[in-house]
Amino acid sequence: MSRKIFVTHQLPGERIHQLAELCDLNLWMGPGLLPPDALREELQDCQGLLCLLTDRINSDVLAQAPHLEFISSMSVGVDHIDLAAASERGIAVGNTPGVLVDTTADTAFALLLAAARRVSEADRFVRQGNWRQENAWAPDFFTGKDVSGATLGIVGLGAIGCAVARRARGFGMEVLGWSRSSREVEGVKGVSLDELLLRSDFVSVHTALTPETHHMIDAARIATMKPGAVLVNAARGGIVDEVALAAALVRGDLYAAGIDVFEREPIADDNPLLHLPNVVLTPHIGSATSHTRARMADLAVDNIIAALQGEAMPNCVNP
Ligand code: DGY
C-alpha cells in the first residue's frame, strides 16, 4: 500500500515531482499558510511530513499523528519541531543544511552594511521628498560607521558564521569568534563570549535557537557590549531579547541593529524595534534567493525519499 506524505506548502525545485511518483502525496495548496487545525487533521493518517519553519510541530501535534514516522523540514533550523518528543516517538527529523550557507551569510552582511551606513534611513529620506537644495550635501550628512578596519564578533562558528567571517575578512575587518564547542577557525580569533561582546564594533549572531540559547543576548549581555556597537541577527529571533535591544538603541548605548528574525513572526505590531530609525528590519529572508530555496526544497524532498525507501535521511538531526 502506498504511504501517505503530507507537504504543508507548494515547493520550488525539481524533486517534488519525483516524490509524487513514490507515494500518496497530499499537498496544501493554500490560500496562505496551513492553519494548525488543518495540520492536525492531515497528519492523522500520514507516515511522512514535509514542513516549513512556520509549522509548529509540538508534542500535541505529534501525539495526534499516530502513524507519523519521519519529518523533513525545509529549513536548517528545527526549533519549530519538538525534537525530544519526536525522538521519543521514534520519528526521524531531517533538515536542509549547507545549501543556504552563502545566501544567509550574504543577508547577514547586507544587514551589517546597511545598519552601519544607514541605508534604510537614507532610502526613506529620499523617497519621502526630504532631499532638497538646502541639504543637498554636507560634511555630516548621513554619516555612518566604518566597516573596514572595525572588529566583528561572530557568535556561533557553524557554517554560516564561518561564511560571514570570510566576507568580513574581505572587508578588512578583524574577526573574533565564539562558539559553544570552542571551535578553531582560520582567520578568526577565538575568544570568550564576554570578551567578544566587549571588544566588537559589530556583533553577528549565528547560533541555533535552543533552550540554552534563548535570550542569550539579554539586557545584561547587551550592557557589556562596546558602546556604539551594531548588532546583527539573521539566525533566530528568540536568541536576542528584542525589548532589551530596543532599550539599548533608544539610550544610544548601541549605534544600530540589522534584524532579519523575530521572536514572533510575522513581527508583532507592538514590537519596539519597529519605531526605531537606526534598525534595519527584514522579514526572515536570510535564505531567500530562488536558487537557494529550490535547493532547500530538493534537499527536503531527498530526506523524504530516503525515509520512504527505508534509508537514513541524508540530513537527519536526531539519528
Ligand atoms: C532556516 O532554514 O532555518 C532559515 O531560517 C531559513 O531562512
| CB contact set of 189 (below 8 Å; sequence gap of 6+) | 174, 175, 176, 177
Nearest CA to ligand 1 atom 4: 75
Domain 4-99+291-308 identical in fold to domain 101-281 = yes
**CATH number listed for the domain at residues 4-99+291-308:** 3.40.50.720
Is the predicted pLDDT of residue 84 greater than 80, yes or no?
yes
Quote the CA–CA distance of 158 and 77 in Å, as a whole number: 12
**pLDDT by residue (tens digit) across 141-176?**
999 999 999 999 999 999 999 999 999 999 999 999
CA dihedral 11→17→19→23, nearest 10 degrees, is: 110
Q: 75 in ligand 1 pocket by Cβ < 6 Å?
A: yes
Question: Based on C-alpha coordinates, what's the Rg of the chain?
Answer: 21
Cell of 261: 528574525
Q: How far is the CA of 33 from the centre of ligand 1 (A)?
A: 16
* Confidence band for 216, pLDDT divided at 50, 70 and 90: very high
- The closest-lying atom of ligand 1 relative to the alpha carbon of residue 288 is 7
Cell of 34: 496551513
Q: 287 in ligand 1 pocket by Cβ < 6 Å?
A: yes
Three-class DSSP category at 261: coil
Domain ranges of the chain: 4-99+291-308, 101-281
**Which is the catalytic residue, given 9, 284, 293, 295?**
284
pLDDT for res 319: 82
Q: How far is the CA of 153 from the centre of ligand 1 (A)?
A: 21
Asked about 214 being catalytic, the answer comes back as no
Looking at domain 101-281, does it have CATH number 3.40.50.720?
yes
Quote the CA–CA distance of 151 and 104 in Å, as a whole number: 20
Q: What distance lies between CA 133 and its chain's CA centroid? A: 42
Q: 286 in ligand 1 pocket by Cβ < 6 Å?
A: yes
Q: What are phi and psi of 237, to 5 degrees?
A: -60, -40
Stretch 231-256: mean pLDDT: 98
Quote the CA–CA distance of 65 and 246 in Å, as a whole number: 40
pTM of the predicted protein model: 0.96
Q: How far is the CA of 292 from the centre of ligand 1 (A)?
A: 11
- The closest-lying atom of ligand 1 relative to the alpha carbon of residue 73 is 2
How would DSSP label each residue in 50-82?
EE-TTS-B-HHHHHT-TT--EEEESSS--TTB-
- The closest-lying atom of ligand 1 relative to the alpha carbon of residue 78 is 3
Asked about 183 being catalytic, the answer comes back as no
Percent of the chain with pLDDT over 70: 100
**pLDDT by residue (tens digit) across 181-214?**
988 999 999 999 999 999 999 999 999 999 999 9
314, 302 in Cβ contact below 8 A? yes
Name residue, grid cell 500518496.
24
Q: 77 in ligand 1 pocket by Cβ < 6 Å?
A: yes
Burial of 130 (0-12, 13-18, 19+ CB in 10 A): exposed
Tell me the pLDDT of the chain averaged across its residues: 97
Three-class DSSP category at 28: coil
Q: What are phi and psi of 14, to 5 degrees?
A: -100, -35
pLDDT for res 1: 65
Asked about 3 being catalytic, the answer comes back as no
Quote the CA–CA distance of 266 and 53 in Å, as a whole number: 12
